[in-house]
Amino acid sequence: MAQADAALSHGAAPPTTAGAATRVRWVICALLFFAATINYIDRNVLAVLKAPLTQEFGWTNTEFGYINFFFQVAYMVGMLASGWMIDRIGTRRGLAIAICLWSVAAMLHAEAPEIGSAVQGAFGALGLTMSASVAGFALCRVLLGIGEAAIFPGSVRSIAEWFPQKERALATGLFNAGTNIGALLTPIVVPIILFRYGWYWAFFGTGAVGFVWLGVWLWQYKSPRQHPHVNAAELALIESDPPDSAAYKVPGLLLAGIVAAVCFVSGTVAATFFSARLVAVSFFVGGLVVAIILNPRRQVWAYAVAKFMTDPVWWLYLTWLPDFLLKVHKVDIKGAMLPLATIYLIADFGSVAGGYVSSKLIQKGYTVNAARKLTMLIFAISVTPIVFAAQADSLWTSVLLVSVAAAGHQAWSANVYTLVSDMFPRRAVGSVIGFGGMMGACGGAIMQIAVGVWLDASGNNYVPIFVAAGTLYLLALGVVHLLVPKMTPATLELPAPGKEGVA
């Protein structure tokens, strides 16, 4: 292991305690779970507050889409940068920096209108005309997106360092369940703060929670060989997989990501703000072709395409579900608390189930390839009934359909993340997760703009939106199988580890 080698190079001796394996790795998983929970609370506050903020500032759906578009763009850049950063400075420091940034950014949302008055002119100079409130929230979302992007590259890399392959899908599902708990808690906690203290404190109070987690993280997190509570039996289990091959590098990955990000953002801006659709198509196609030339590895693109096609569906739930409940079922912010909590509670079970099913199939003798893809197929099928969600007359029928789809997404997602640690060396995991996350954010950015514009143009018609949400997973699985039919591990080159520190 790269981290084990790094620990030995720093003079740390392997643990010597004999007996039953300790379970420190599950403590690490719990820390990642709580980080994901905080991440999603900070991310979802704006969506829950859409109705009162829209009433106060007079936003249209298109303007709300713009604000979330800027978050997605920043998240896209942050994914690329954070994956690269975490592979170089380590998980411990990387996630510490990230949560500091996103917590400050979350708190700054409380001052967004004042910030907007100061930066509105700068947006105008770029040809992006918007009100002060939209400009302020857009800038705060940019800072939040850059910081929050590190949660998945850092967490998946940590899982790869702390868990053997047979446990990774379950561990990934468990930490990823924190995203659902965060999404579940937000519509419960935020309205309480809103009606007692106002939206200012809803942003400020939730943002401050991240600093509590930061203290525990810095106190508890060490690499397996450096952790004083890991005994020899647990270390042997963690290191039971074949070691990574030495001297690996991922040539072209960072440059491919930069090209793809710039072209996708440029294309979306050209189509949205300047109505230059042919220019947009040229950016999209050209950027994709150049990125593939720079980084032609099928393993990378299997993961990236899966993220690009299905991440926008999850972003749709996070951003637009409160609006869907209000516009289609006339449910206000108080009435939405129970439906939204139900959706994300059921989704939480999906996250754990996806990891459990995949790990169980491997234990029963299925190959990793068969176990991952069979699990992905099961849950891709489970998503399809959501195509009827916008046509259901009953609120709770819609909630049930969305709940099952959200659970299916989380089960799918747990296995998609695990594909990376199945096919790449541990030291490459952060970079590849970052690249794929960047592609997922590209898809999400396009979705945010498209949904906002479509809803304004169609009179809040959600039917085609949910039809698309129900069909993308099966299409994505087909592409994944075509690109990596046997999930052959990638042969890459990584720079020499050097002195990375505690990851």
Backbone angles phi, psi at 249, to 5 degrees: -145, 150
What's the pTM? 0.76
Confidence category of residue 247, pLDDT binned at 50, 70, 90: very low
Q: Where are the alpha helices (DSSP H) in 424-486?
A: 426-458, 463-483
Per the domain annotation, does 266 fall within a domain? no
Per the domain annotation, does 501 fall within a domain? no
CA distances, 184 to each of 361, 459, 471 (Å)? 29, 28, 25
The lowest-confidence range among 170-174, 256-260, 421-425 is 256-260
Per the domain annotation, does 397 fall within a domain? yes
Q: How many CA atoms lie within 13 A of 221 on its CB side?
A: 28
Per the domain annotation, does 119 fall within a domain? yes
Confidence category of residue 249, pLDDT binned at 50, 70, 90: low
CA distances, 381 to each of 68, 310, 378 (Å)? 29, 13, 5
| Residue % of the chain over a pLDDT of 70 | 91
Domain containing 160 — which CATH number? Answer: 1.20.1250.20
pLDDT greater at residue 81 or residue 324:
324
Helices 298-329 and 24-48, axial angle in degrees (round to 10): 50
pLDDT at 404: 97
Per the domain annotation, does 208 fall within a domain? yes
pLDDT at 3: 40
Kindly tell me if the per-residue pLDDT of 240 is higher than 90: no
Kindly tell me if the per-residue pLDDT of 57 is higher than 90: yes
pLDDT at 72: 86
The lowest-confidence range among 72-76, 186-190, 240-244 is 240-244
Mean pLDDT of the chain: 85
pLDDT at 15: 47
Query: Could you give the CA distance from residue 479 to residue 373 in angstroms, rounded to a whole number?
Result: 12
Per the domain annotation, does 288 fall within a domain? no
- Domains contained in the chain, number: 1
Kindly tell me if the per-residue pLDDT of 207 is higher than 90: yes
pLDDT at 331: 92
Question: Which of the 8 DSSP states describes residue 490?
Answer: P
pLDDT at 34: 96
pLDDT at 113: 92
Hey, CA dihedral for 156, 160, 164, 166, is it positive or negative? Answer: positive
Per the domain annotation, does 498 fall within a domain? no
Two structure tokens written together for 259: 């090209």
| 249 strand-pairing partners | 493
pLDDT at 245: 52
Angle in degrees, CA 86, 216, 157, rounded to 5:
25
Kindly tell me if the per-residue pLDDT of 493 is higher than 60: no
Amino acid, res. 316 = L
pLDDT in tens, 137-167: 999 999 999 999 999 889 988 998 888 888 8
Question: What is the span of the domain harbouring residue 203?
Answer: 2-11+22-250+295-483
pLDDT greater at residue 208 or residue 268:
208
pLDDT at 250: 55
Which residue pairs, CB below 8 angstroms and at least 24 apart, start in 209-215?
Answer: 209/38, 209/41, 209/103, 210/38, 210/42, 210/99, 210/100, 210/102, 210/103, 210/106, 211/99, 211/100, 211/103, 213/31, 213/34, 213/35, 213/38, 213/99, 214/96, 214/99, 214/100, 214/103
> Do residues 257 and 36 touch, judged by C-beta distance below 8 A?
no
Kindly tell me if the per-residue pLDDT of 220 is higher than 60: yes
Question: Which of the 8 DSSP states describes residue 244?
Answer: P
> Do residues 184 and 54 touch, judged by C-beta distance below 8 A?
no
Query: Could you give the CA distance from residue 434 to residue 327 in angstroms, rounded to a whole number?
Result: 35
Kindly tell me if the per-residue pLDDT of 386 is higher than 90: yes
Q: What average pLDDT does range 19-25 have in this prediction? A: 82
Confidence category of residue 312, pLDDT binned at 50, 70, 90: very high
> Do residues 60 and 268 touch, judged by C-beta distance below 8 A?
no
pLDDT in tens, 83-139: 778 878 888 999 999 999 999 999 999 999 999 888 888 877 777 778 899 999 999
> Do residues 434 and 77 touch, judged by C-beta distance below 8 A?
no
Per the domain annotation, does 282 fall within a domain? no
Count CB neighbours of 493 within 10 A.
13
